[in-house]
Structure 1
Amino acid sequence: MTTTPTALLVHGAFADAGSWAGVVAELQNHGIPVIAPPNPLRGLASDATYIASLAAQIDGPVVLVGHSYGGAVITVAGAAENVVGLVYIAAYVPEEGESLGELQGRFPLSPLVSNLKEWTYPVEGGQTAVEVTIQAEAFPGIFAADVPAPVTKALAVSQRPLSTSVFDETAAAAAWQTKPSWALVAGADEAINPEVERFGAKRAGATTVELEGASHAVAVSRPKEVADLIRDAVRATS
């Protein structure tokens, strides 16, 4: 069994596992085992169950890393026995019993909220559910203002939609209550109000860094700084 924790990277809404590419390269260059699986984005409880199941199948300790909505997922999934630390990247950090709607409702809403496009998708029983993406024309400024324009154009049309149900679901657990956490606040985030990120990080007692001018897509635009924080967490939990 390896004693160096594996970094399990959980992407958030409107992105996919490829958004971690630069971070993965940085971690691999420093000999840190890493996996970046898909996050289903279909419900907080079900997404967390999936990620916790993956973590449990990894040989050795795991540091969970969550971006954006992925922060809520690792908060719940982090209860898995072999998870030894949590890293929040421009992320939601909910309390047990708290929904994302309640958490972000404590602060002024970000521009994201008024620039969402609704879609529907089929669910069991012949019913439909609602999912959202960011309006393509608003995507660069809201999600990735510090990412080169050609990249944002591709990101805008390859978004992974998020089920709107996640905003009303409450977190069944808050792993940060018993496990150490780290947080990166994106200072120029237009998708999640940075005050939401700061509040959650402080409440969790997370070791926190803030990147001035960083957009929500900080893992794409500033992969070295993101990887540095993950390395800190891996070292501290080894």
Structure 2
Amino acid sequence: MKNSFKKRLITSSITALLFAGAAAPALAAPVKNIVLVHGAFVGGSGWRPVYDILTQDGYNVTLVQEPLTSFNDDVTATKRILDEQKGQAILVGHSYGGAIITEAGNDSHVAGLVYIAAHALDAGETEASNGKKFPNSAHPFAKSADGYLTIKPQYFPSDFAADLPLKEAQFEANAQMPTNASVFTANIPDPAWKVKPSWYMVAESDKIINPDLERMYAARAHSHKVEIPGASHSVYESHPKEVAALIEQAAQHALK
């Protein structure tokens, strides 16, 4: 009799657990694909420290090397990489790369957006117009005869990369990718941050984008925000651990 009762009790307990398991919602798996988009004047190689951390942690990381010839060209280059992703991806943009991911982020492959000291424009805004509302503290850009902008090499270390070793900043100053001036007046009619979850990193000592503009972007998008004290515009290079941690937070929570 006792054995029979124990069997019925065990059977009932197992059945109850099975029903409880069936009723509980399945936890969303973290996103494993990360796509990194660089900003104006620089290439994708600056992402290397972040790339190394993310790949070591098991993420599949792809870099976009946009040509910086026009906003449409840069968005197309980003979508080309997104089309190669197997499954959902976290789309990350630094600086002008934020404008790119704000447009390209509407792609169905994108689960979440991460802005690293980046522009998160709304419809009717441009980087140029927002820069007038929130002036930066950098020197004016140099403009070529054919309409491409660069940062004068003597100003690059202090304006763009004040918290990088001087020799590294000087190398980047002389390895700049000239950027078509038209990209800074591009308009985005349907910003992806309005429909996709976002994360934002403010560089508190940024001279290229006013930190208060960065805070405005983050607040408006209801982004999960972190601020890095003393960080320059090159925060993605000078603080790769913090940047990678924010990206991983997005990957773990974008689908929840």
Separation (CA, whole Å) in 2 of partners of 1:157 and 1:76: 30
1:228 aligns with 2:242: no
Counterpart contact for 1:26–1:227, Cα < 8 Å: yes
SS state at 1:111 partner = coil
Separation (CA, whole Å) in 2 of partners of 1:97 and 1:79: 17
Which AA in structure 2 matches 1:171? Answer: I
1:117 aligns with 2:142: yes
* Structure exhibiting the larger radius of gyration computed from Cα positions: 2
Which AA in structure 2 matches 1:186? Answer: A
1:157 — aligned with what? 174
Match of 2:226 among 209, 212, 216: 209
1:90 aligns with 2:117: yes
Which AA in structure 2 matches 1:149? Answer: L
Q: Give 1:117 shift.
A: 1.5
2:150 — aligned with what? 133
**Deviation sequence 1:180-199 (CA, Å, 0-9, x none):** 00000000001111111111
2:78 — aligned with what? 51
Which AA in structure 1 matches 2:40? Answer: A
SS state at 1:145 partner = coil
Which AA in structure 1 matches 2:226? Answer: V
Deviates more, 1:202-211 or 1:103-112: 103-112
2:93 — aligned with what? 66
Q: Give 1:161 shift.
A: 1.3
Report runs of 4+ in structure 1 exceeding 4 Å deviation: none
Which AA in structure 1 matches 2:33? Answer: T
Counterpart contact for 2:98–2:118, Cα < 8 Å: yes
1:123 — aligned with what? none
**Deviation sequence 1:10-67 (CA, Å, 0-9, x none):** 0001111000000000101110110112022122233112212321221110110000
Identify unmatched segments of 5+ residues in structure 2.
1-28
SS state at 1:205 partner = coil
TM-score for both structures, normalised by structure 2: 0.85
1:34 — aligned with what? 61
SS state at 1:158 partner = coil
**Deviation sequence 1:99-129 (CA, Å, 0-9, x none):** 11122222123314x2x11124xxxxxxxx4
Q: Give 1:3 shift.
A: 6.4
Deviates more, 1:72-81 or 1:36-45: 36-45
SS state at 1:87 partner = strand
Give the 3 Å change call, closer, same or farther, for CA 172–44 of structure 1 in structure 2: farther
2:14 — aligned with what? none
TM-score for both structures, normalised by structure 1: 0.91
SS state at 1:109 partner = coil
2:52 — aligned with what? 25
2:159 — aligned with what? 142
Higher strand share: 1
Counterpart contact for 1:71–1:88, Cα < 8 Å: yes
Identify unmatched segments of 5+ residues in structure 1.
121-128
1:172 aligns with 2:215: no
Deviates more, 1:92-101 or 1:218-227: 92-101
Counterpart contact for 2:71–2:183, Cα < 8 Å: yes
Separation (CA, whole Å) in 1 of partners of 2:104 and 2:130: 18
**Relative contact order: is structure 1 or structure 2 higher (C-alpha 8 Å, sep ≥ 6)?**
1
Counterpart contact for 1:5–1:237, Cα < 8 Å: no
Q: Give 1:219 shift.
A: 1.1
